[in-house]
């Protein structure tokens, strides 16, 4: 029997890894070799069992210390050398001690294996974009959007647009993304806002532009003109000799 290299099973070449790296690697490996995605593959099933076994040990700080200590004092020093019959017997004994250390001593009659509880995995976020008018961005409002779900069905959402939202900002609908796995939370739906210019107003950064038509004598002599702004009227003084600009 061989003392398993749990770090290598999770895709690491060294034991100098953080708990977060172990968790991330476990999620990737477990998803890749999950029996539901590899039906009929004995190799994938065995690999999935090894991945869960490795994670149970390395995700627990006390068990990980014991494992590292045992590995360094036995297999780690001998893994590059050929072993004789005596050393093989010793390795079997060491492996038995490690199994007992982490999972308890074997009984003469094995009890049925309990189904291990897999860690919760949050679902992926979904991103989309919607176009809104300058007036909708300024005053706020609601828009209805439809997205096609994974099962092919259309799902409708009511998006509340907050007043004063800026171009390229995102609205987050919590829990409306892809479903989580093993009881994990759903991902979120992120909606990017694209503010559209129109014939009356043009948005550049935080500045709002509009167009004003003047008569030739107003442009030549100057005048006071009332201009419709987005939320009322403003009086603008036109200087003498102003030129037309586009």
* pLDDT single digits (tens) 1-24: 467 888 999 999 888 889 999 999
pTM for this model (two decimals): 0.46
The CATH number of the domain holding residue 135 is 2.60.260.20
Q: Token pair of 159, please?
A: 């998006």
Q: Average pLDDT in the 84-96 region?
A: 48
Same structural domain for residues 18 and 73? yes
Domain of 216 in residue numbering reads as 212-238
Residue 151's pLDDT band (boundaries 50, 70, 90)?
low
- Residue 121 CA to residue 154 CA, distance in Å, equals 25
pLDDT surpassing 90 at residue 60: yes
Identify which has the larger pLDDT, 222 or 108.
222
| Residue that is last in its domain, among 103, 136, 153 | 103
Identify the pLDDT of residue 82: 47
The CATH number of the domain holding residue 19 is 1.10.287.110
User: CA 194: distance to chain centroid?
Assistant: 23
117 lies in some domain: no
Signed CA dihedral, 162, 164, 167, 170: sign only: negative
Give the least confident one: 26-35, 56-65, 98-107, 139-148: 98-107
pLDDT surpassing 70 at residue 85: no
Identify the pLDDT of residue 110: 56
Identify the pLDDT of residue 149: 67
Reported as a single tens digit per residue, the pLDDT across 117-140 is 788 888 888 888 999 898 888 888
Inter-residue long-range contacts of 34-40, CB under 8 Å, 24+ positions, other chains counted: none
User: CA 162: distance to chain centroid?
Assistant: 25
Longest CA span, the chain: 110
Residue owning tokens 């189904």: 115
* Residue-wise burial string across 90-126, b where 16 or more C-beta atoms lie within 10 A, e elsewhere: ebeebbeebbeebeeeeeeeeeeeeeeebbebbbeeb
29 lies in some domain: yes
Identify the pLDDT of residue 115: 66
56, with CB counted inside 10 A (0-12, 13-18, 19+), is: middle
- Residue 207 CA to residue 209 CA, distance in Å, equals 7
Identify which has the larger pLDDT, 152 or 156.
156
Among 171, 118, 169, 176, which Cα is nearest to 150's? 176
Same structural domain for residues 76 and 14? yes
How many domains are there within the chain? 3
| Residue that is last in its domain, among 103, 137, 163 | 103
Same structural domain for residues 91 and 17? yes
Reported as a single tens digit per residue, the pLDDT across 94-123 is 555 555 555 554 444 556 666 677 888 888
48 lies in some domain: yes
Same structural domain for residues 71 and 98? yes
Same structural domain for residues 192 and 222? no
Same structural domain for residues 22 and 79? yes
Chain mean pLDDT for the chain: 80
Identify which has the larger pLDDT, 28 or 76.
28
User: 3-class secondary structure for the chain?
Assistant: CCCCCHHHHCCCCCCCCCHHHHHHHHHHHHHHHCHHHCCCCHHHHHHHHHHHHHHHHHCCHHHHHHHHHHHHHCHHHHCCCCCCHHHHHHHHHHHHHHHHHHHCCCCCCCCCCCCCCCCCECCCCEEEEEEEEHHHHHHCEEEEEEEECCCCCEEEEEEEECCCCCCCCEEEECCCCCCCECCCCCCCEEEEEEEECCCCEEEECCEEEECCCCCHHHHHHCEEEEEEECCEEEEEEECCCCCCCC
pLDDT surpassing 80 at residue 218: no
């Amino acid at each position: 029997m061989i003392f398993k290299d749990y770090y290598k099973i999770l895709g690491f070449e060294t034991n100098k890894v953080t708990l977060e790296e172990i968790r991330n690697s476990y999620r990737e490996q477990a998803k890749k070799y999950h029996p539901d995605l590899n039906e009929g593959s004995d190799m994938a099933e065995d690999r999935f069992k090894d991945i869960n076994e490795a994670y149970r040990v390395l995700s627990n700080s006390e068990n990980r210390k014991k494992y590292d200590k045992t590995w360094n004092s036995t297999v780690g020093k001998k893994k590059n050398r050929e072993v004789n019959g005596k050393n093989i017997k010793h390795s079997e004994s060491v492996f038995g001690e490690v199994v007992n250390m982490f999972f308890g001593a074997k009984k003469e009659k094995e009890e049925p294996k309990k189904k291990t509880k897999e860690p919760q995995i949050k679902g992926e976020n979904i991103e989309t974009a919607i176009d809104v008018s300058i007036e909708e961005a300024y005053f706020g409002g609601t828009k209805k959007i439809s997205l096609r779900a994974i099962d092919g069905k259309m799902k409708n959402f009511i998006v509340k647009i907050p007043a004063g939202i800026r171009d390229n900002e995102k609205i987050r609908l919590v829990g409306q993304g892809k479903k989580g796995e093993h009881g994990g939370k759903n991902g979120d739906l992120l909606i990017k806002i694209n503010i559209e210019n129109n014939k009356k107003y043009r948005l550049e950064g935080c500045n709002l532009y509009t167009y004003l038509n003047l008569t030739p004598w107003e442009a030549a002599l100057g005048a006071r003109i009332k201009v419709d702004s987005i939320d009322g009227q403003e009086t603008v003084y036109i200087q003498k000799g102003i030129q037309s600009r586009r």
